[in-house]
């Protein structure tokens, strides 16, 4: 969360009058990196290869919407990670990854109110499995890193039944698919929370879009922008 928020109000709402009824919602979709957790996992993996600055610059441009082809940006970053050992990823998971303030509290409150939780990430299953288990996610969609026989990254991804890369359109499609499965209408019963440009498609499909410490393009389009404090401050909008 490198974006400066010093001159912004802690919480901004636009396009509606809070509070909204929590009971009216059925599902909440969350991005992972820099939203539920404090890091961009791919940038931290890159640190092990001595290429953090190069990879982080591409990540930042993609999240700001300056690189519009997320799939291409991800492939470019992955190519730079070829040869990084699995142990480096394990170190990121155990030593660098932390939940953002209020993430546990918000997810617990939403689950307690009967909402289904969806984790949709342009990041990797190596990390989403842990995050999903910790927060009680009901659905998960993310990318599967490919390893060679020695346990090092190949610089590519594993093809999954739904496809290879979870980009913005796949996040939106997954939200709509989960809504269909539970008999919900995304446009009236879904919440979507993210920070980057690749979150905008799912946020646009949801009844309530929430930007958390987000890039300017995302803050401008979200119905709620949380610029400081915890994710659980969203609960001041939902009663």
Distance CA 144, CA 124 (A): 6
Instruction: Identify whether 33 is a catalytic site residue.
Output: yes
Instruction: Please give the pLDDT value at position 193.
Output: 98
Residue 126 sits in which domain range? 11-39+99-236
Q: Is there a domain that residue 146 lies in? A: yes
Backbone angles phi, psi at 187, to 5 degrees: -70, -15
Chain-centre distance of CA 29, in angstroms? Answer: 9
Q: How far apart are CA 31 and CA 222, in angstroms?
A: 14
Q: What is the pLDDT of residue 4?
A: 65
Asked if the structure places residue 48 within a domain, the reply is: no
Query: Could you tell me whether strands 145-147 and 153-157 are parallel, antiparallel, or unpaired per DSSP bridges?
Result: antiparallel
Q: Is residue 59 part of a domain?
A: no
pLDDT at 3: 62
- Residue 102 corresponds to which tokens in the numbers above? 């209020």
Q: Which of 24, 33, 148, 232 is labelled catalytic?
A: 33
pLDDT, position 7: 81
- Written as six digits, the tokens of 203 are 């946020």
**Total number of domains in the chain:** 1
> What is the model's pLDDT at position 143?
98
Predicted TM-score of the model (pTM): 0.96
Query: What angle is formed at CA 116 by the lines to CA 115 and CA 120, rounded to 5 degrees?
Result: 130
Q: Residue 70 domain-assigned?
A: no
Encoded tokens for 174: 């997954």
Sign, CA torsion 3/202/56/98 = positive
> Mean pLDDT by 10-residue block, N- to C-terminus, for the chain (239 residues)?
73 93 97 98 95 96 95 96 97 97 98 98 98 98 98 98 98 98 98 98 98 97 97 96
CATH code at 172? 3.40.50.1000
Q: Could you give the maximum distance between any two Cα atoms of the chain, in Å?
A: 56
Q: Alpha-carbon distance 13 to 191, whole Å?
A: 14
Annotated active-site residue in 31, 167, 195, 232: 31
167 is catalytic: no
- Residue 110 in any domain: the answer is yes
Q: Is residue 154 in some structural domain?
A: yes
């Amino acid at each position: 969360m490198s974006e400066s928020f010093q001159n912004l109000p802690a919480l901004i709402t636009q396009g509606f009058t809070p509070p909204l009824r929590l009971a009216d919602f059925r599902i909440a979709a969350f991005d992972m990196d820099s939203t539920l957790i404090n890091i961009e996992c791919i940038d931290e993996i890159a640190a092990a290869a001595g290429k953090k600055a190069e990879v982080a610059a591409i990540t930042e441009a993609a999240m700001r919407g300056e690189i519009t082809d997320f799939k291409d940006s991800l492939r470019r970053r992955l190519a730079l990670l070829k040869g990084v050992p699995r142990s480096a990823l394990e170190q990121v998971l155990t030593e660098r990854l932390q939940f953002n303030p209020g993430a546990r509290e918000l997810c617990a409150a939403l689950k307690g109110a009967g909402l289904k939780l969806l984790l949709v990430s342009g990041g990797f299953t190596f990390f989403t499995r842990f995050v999903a288990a910790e927060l009680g996610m009901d659905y998960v969609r993310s990318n599967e890193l490919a390893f060679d026989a020695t346990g090092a990254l190949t610089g590519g991804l594993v093809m999954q039944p739904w496809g290879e890369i979870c980009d913005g359109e796949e996040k939106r499609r997954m939200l709509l698919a989960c809504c269909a499965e539970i008999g919900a209408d995304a446009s009236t019963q879904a919440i979507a929370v993210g920070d980057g440009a690749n979150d905008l498609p799912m946020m646009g499909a949801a009844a309530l879009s929430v930007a958390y410490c987000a890039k300017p393009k995302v803050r401008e389009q979200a119905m709620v922008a949380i610029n400081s404090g915890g994710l659980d401050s969203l609960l001041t909008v939902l009663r």
